[in-house]
Structures are given as C-alpha cells and as structure tokens.
Structure 1
Amino acid sequence: MSHVEIELKLAARGDAIEAVRQCVSTLSHQHSEPTKLTNIYFDTAQRQLRQWDMGLRIRGCDGRYEMTIKTAGLVIGGLHQRPEYNVDIDSPELDLTAFPTEIWPEGTDVSQLQSDLAILFSTNFMREKWLVTFEDSEIEVVFDQGEISAGAKELPIQEFELELKKGFIADVLNFAKKLADIDGLYLSSLSKAARGYSLITSNSAVLPRPDSIFDYEEQPIEKSLTHMQLLCQQHEAYWLAGEDNARQGFSEFLRFVQAFLVHYQHSAPHFVHDTPLEQLRLDIANDAISAEDFCYSSQWLKCKLAFIQWLSALTYQEAQ
C-alpha cells in the first residue's frame, strides 16, 4: 500500500507539551491512548539508500510489524510531502521484494541490495494520537516522546506531528498557526531518520556560515522562497550550534527578508506582510535572548509558517 504523506513536525520543549494537549482537546477529535513503538532503520555501509533520498525501517508495535520505505519527495521549511510504501510482515525481517519494483532506480539489483543492508540505528518512543476535525479537513496529531539510539549515542525525541489525512494542506498550516500561539515549539525539517543519520555521522564537521543574501530578481518567486526557507534553516542550525557571529548573521538575514518583501509588496499575501520581522530583529539583538529562546518562540514560528503558507499555495496540489 502506498500514499503521499503530508505533515508538519514541531519539536517541543517540555513547557509546551501540556499546552498543546489542551489546545487539541478543545477541538472535535478522537483520542488514542499512548502506545510503545520501536523502529529499526537500515542502510548499506555506503549509505546507498541515503544517497537515493530513501528511508527504510521496520516498525514493531504490540507484536505486529510493518516494513516502510519513504522515497524522495519535497520538504519546504518543515512541510513534508513524501511518497511512502507500507507492507505488513510477520516478523522483523526485511523483504524488499514486497515493495513495487518501480520505486528502485533503474538497474537496481534488489537481492544484492537487501544482502548489503544492515541496522544503523533505532528509535524507541511512546506515541499518543488525536484525529482532529479542523475546518474542512481531518488532521492526525501525533505526540512522540522517547529517544534515537545508535550504540552508546542517543538523541531525545519530543515532537508533535500534524499529518493531513483528508482535506487541504492550507488547513494543516492554519492548524499549526493556531498552535503557534504557544511558546516552546520549533518547526523541524528533519525526520527521525535524518536525525538518526546525524547521530552516526562524525561530529567533527564544522557548520559552514550561511549566506545572508542571494539574487532573487532573476528567478521565479517559488525558487526564491524555497532558497529563503533553506537559508532560514541554516541560520537556525548555525546559531543553535553556538557558532561565532551567528546572531549577527541571522539579523542580517532578517533584514534581507524585509527587503525581499518590499520588492514583492504587491504579490506577497497580507499574512506575510503582517509578520513582525522588525521586532524579531530587535529580539535577536537582545543578548538576554538565547538562540533556543528565539527559535522556539511563538513569534518566530508564526513568521516561518506564514512564508511556508505562501510557498505552499504556489507549490502544492491539494490532497484528495
């Protein structure tokens, strides 16, 4: 079975979790009690699946197992749209022949690929779910809490995911904007698999300093907005990593975004013009505000969602 998964991921600080739960509970919903999930991720020693932008896992829950592969898709500043294929299996053992042959690059020896696969890392977490009716859509809200493990290394999992089950992408974004009234949420562009790969990658690499400007006048606006989202993520990561002059670079980037909006003042939606970019620049200049305080702030999340909503309106087709 296959479908296109469309979701937003919101990493959560501890002080935001109960507030999100309460917000969700005020809406029409069906609640599922927490269950324990274990996921095992696979790849070759050469990271062949990673090179193909694929992610392969086996998920176990209550003695039942499911094999899933996610193929290349789109990620726009945290809004994920990726085809995925799910197969029920009797035991936690791989069988790549159960997937459609057309998902593999031409010439792939599936039998050889399977023999080359090995376990890279695992995730273990409790999952709580709500199926919410919001505006004209059904949205599944998931809260995951646990850890990613690779040998002795671990990373925490504490995130909400908003997945469109039926309806419109715009409703997912509007629901996220409702949650954005809560401080302590961070729009994440990284899947659990991507974070797992980072855990097994050497930490010695130095983050490159992000650009603060680019030439947007000679390219389509969709391409410019996508580039802007990428730079936004890079500036966040650079500052959160504590790199030198990251605060100043982020401030310069926001000044560039303001200039970008002046250039597109007649085509940018009103909700983008309403974003408090000048106040955000003042917040960055305040040494009392840390990178985490800023990146997990309500105002910054609202700003990011506004730009994603603008870009998604130009890019995505609505779900059926």
Structure 2
Amino acid sequence: MATELELKLMVQPEYLKSACAFLDTFCEKNSSAQDTSSKSSRQATLDLMNGYYDTANALLLENGIALRIRAVNREFIQTVKTRGSSRVGMHARGEWEWHVDSDGLDLTLLSEVPLPKPLQDMQWSRDLIEVFRTDFQRHVWLIHYKSSVLEVVCDEGEVSSAYGRDNICELELELKSGDEGALYEFAHLIAQQVPVQVSVVSKAQKGSRLKHRRIEFPSKPNPQDSLLSFAEYWYETWLVYWEAMFYLRDEALLQPIRSAIYQLKQCVPTELSKRLEALDQCYDSLFKVDREGLLERLASKPETGIMMLSTGQWLNQQLDRPA
C-alpha cells in the first residue's frame, strides 16, 4: 500500500497546450544540471483506459472506495483507492495496485485492503458492475524542484457512462519524495503562467455524478469549532462551487462562490483577507460587464488559482503546526 499525496488543478481545454509548454520549458531549462539524477524530464505519453466498478446503489462510493481496472500498454492494473484523510485541497489517499492477467477483476486481492466494516463480508462483490469509464491521454513529467521530486501529469479525455459524458482536463501534481510544500510552490509557478484552479473532485466522483447529478459539499463545522475549522469549510466550499459552476455551465453559481469567499475572509489573517477581497472585487467587475461570456472571462483570470493555492498552503501550514 502506498499513500498518494497529490494536488489537482483544473485547466480549461484552451489553456492545456500552454500548461504542457510551460512544463516542457521548465524541463529544458533544468536539463543543464550536471547531476543527471536531478534532471527534470518529460516521460512517455500514455493512453489510459479505465473501467470503474461498483454496485448499482453505489455501495463502494458511499464507503469511500474506488475500484478500477486500467489498461495501459497492453497491461492490466487493478487498483483500489480509499477516501483517505482530508488535507484541505490536497488528496491524501491509500492506494493498492496489482498487475493482473486480464481486464477481469480479481477480488481475492482485496484481502490486502482494510475495507470499511459495511464491505468486509464481501456480499456486495456478487453485484458489481462497470458503472463508468474514464479514457484519457496522459502526458507525464518528472520534476526535480528544490529538494523534492514531483510527478506532474496532464490528463485530457472523458468520463462516460450510460447517463452521459463529462470532460477530463486537469493537471495532477504528486509528491514522490521530499517536502509536501513543494506541491504548492511548483503549482504556484504553473498558476503564474497558465490560468488553473485547485480541484477537489476526483475522476471517480465525476463518473458517479453522471447518474446522480449531485454536487458533494464538505460537512459544516459545529458552532463551537475553531475558526480554522470554519476557514477549511469555506475554502473547500469555494472550490466545490467553482468546479460545479463549470461542470453545470451555470454562471449564477458565482454568487455562492463570492459568499464563500466573504465568509473565508473573516477566518484568515489580514493580509490574506485583503487579497481575497481584491479577488472578490475582480469578480464583481466581471459580473457587471456582461453575463455573456462570463465563464470564459472567469476561467482566463490567473488570480483565482493563485489565491486558491495561497489560501490552501496557509491552511495546511496551520494544520501541520503542533497543538
């Protein structure tokens, strides 16, 4: 079992080439390093075909489990991912992988996974069906940044099921070794060059919502909880609404986004609050110009991604401090 720590970034299709070009340029500049073991490089591009399995009533999803078979380069890989722990905008999950002989599931391998109690009797295994697919092209870069090693991938394709389709267009930064702060620092470099935004929606969640059309929001803290808990909540609410706005193509969701930012401003230090206020004013000016083309104008603004990353990094720094 490996623990996967990654930061996912939304990118609109029109900016995908720019994101890849930035990563290629970074690798070219880094190629002059004398130590070949610390050179950043572009890796082989992969065509990934993935079938996700669950019961008709989404029992695995409800218990935080994603089960898939991936076909890559004529090999098959069975993977289980768990919901894992919340890292405020980052994904920290348990992951188990096995090479298998075909595109059929080998459920005996799940004996290695600490399944949640409702799944331990394996009765559900008789009712498994392929509930959706994700098929995409993956561009891969191995990035040496400061004292850390990151794998950065750019995924472009679609998720599909009997209930519809949705685009996949995203960057994922996964920490291979070193300091997790490098995820945010390198993501900042990308966001300063290409309009990207932090995403907390996995491919499995994208596939599931094709049927249910349900947007998953974080749990609201209790009134007696700390100010930091409320900062986490409003930050993740902002991220969820932002992704939903583009998924549903509904610019009216800018209003709850602005409401979440207003609440978040009350929970963070003054300097960060002022920067969030400036972002909100930017949204206000865009909203007043014309509703036509509003989503495209919002997507083109690098300020959103930069502030999402700055806020997320600050929140994670607070959580890492000893009590």
TM-score between both structures, scaled by the size of structure 1:
0.84
C-alpha displacement of 1:246: 3.9
Unaligned runs of 5+ in 1: none
SS where residue 260 of structure 1 aligns? coil
Matched residue, 2:267: 260
Moved more, 68-77 or 4-13: 68-77
| 1:89-147 superposed Cα distances (whole Å, 9 cap, x missing partner) | 01111122213455112374555332221110111111111110011110001111111
C-alpha displacement of 1:80: 0.5
Q: 38, 43, 61: which one pairs with 2:54?
A: 43
Matched residue, 2:37: none
Contact conserved, 1:77 with 1:233, CA < 8 A, in 2? no
Q: Summarize the Cα distance change of 1:293–1:100 in structure 2 as closer, same or farther, 3 Å threshold.
A: farther
Matched residue, 1:157: 168
Matched residue, 2:308: 304
Q: Summarize the Cα distance change of 1:64–1:248 in structure 2 as closer, same or farther, 3 Å threshold.
A: closer
SS where residue 92 of structure 1 aligns? coil
Matched residue, 2:226: 220
Matched residue, 2:159: 148
C-alpha separation between the residues in 2 aligned to 1:150 and 1:221? 41
C-alpha displacement of 1:214: 8.2
C-alpha separation between the residues in 2 aligned to 1:89 and 1:60? 10
| 1:284-318 superposed Cα distances (whole Å, 9 cap, x missing partner) | 2122372453255211111111111112223359x
C-alpha separation between the residues in 2 aligned to 1:107 and 1:234? 28
Matched residue, 1:229: 235
C-alpha displacement of 1:184: 2.9
Moved more, 36-45 or 248-257: 248-257
C-alpha separation between the residues in 1 aligned to 2:177 and 2:134? 28
C-alpha displacement of 1:234: 4.1
Contact conserved, 1:247 with 1:285, CA < 8 A, in 2? no
C-alpha displacement of 1:230: 2.5
C-alpha separation between the residues in 2 aligned to 1:214 and 1:105? 24
1:123 maps to 2:134: yes
Contact conserved, 2:88 with 2:316, CA < 8 A, in 1? no
- The share of aligned pairs that are identical, in percent, is 25
Letter in 2 for 1:63: R
C-alpha displacement of 1:73: 1.1
C-alpha displacement of 1:283: 1.7
Moved more, 283-292 or 48-57: 283-292
SS where residue 276 of structure 1 aligns? helix
Contact conserved, 2:134 with 2:157, CA < 8 A, in 1? yes
TM-score between both structures, scaled by the size of structure 2:
0.83
Q: Summarize the Cα distance change of 1:113–1:95 in structure 2 as closer, same or farther, 3 Å threshold.
A: farther
Matched residue, 1:32: 43
Unaligned runs of 5+ in 2: 31-39
C-alpha separation between the residues in 1 aligned to 2:109 and 2:280? 52
C-alpha separation between the residues in 2 aligned to 1:147 and 1:242? 17
Q: Judging by fraction of residues, say which structure has more helix.
A: 2
Aligned CA RMSD, in angstroms, stands at 3.0
Matched residue, 2:105: 94
Aligned residues: 303
C-alpha separation between the residues in 2 aligned to 1:250 and 1:6? 26
SS where residue 254 of structure 1 aligns? helix
C-alpha separation between the residues in 1 aligned to 2:305 and 2:237? 15
Contact conserved, 2:81 with 2:93, CA < 8 A, in 1? yes
SS where residue 99 of structure 1 aligns? helix
Matched residue, 2:16: 17
Contact conserved, 1:283 with 1:294, CA < 8 A, in 2? no
SS where residue 180 of structure 1 aligns? helix
Matches within 5 A, 1:178-193: 178-193=189-204
Matched residue, 2:93: 82
Q: Summarize the Cα distance change of 1:78–1:157 in structure 2 as closer, same or farther, 3 Å threshold.
A: same
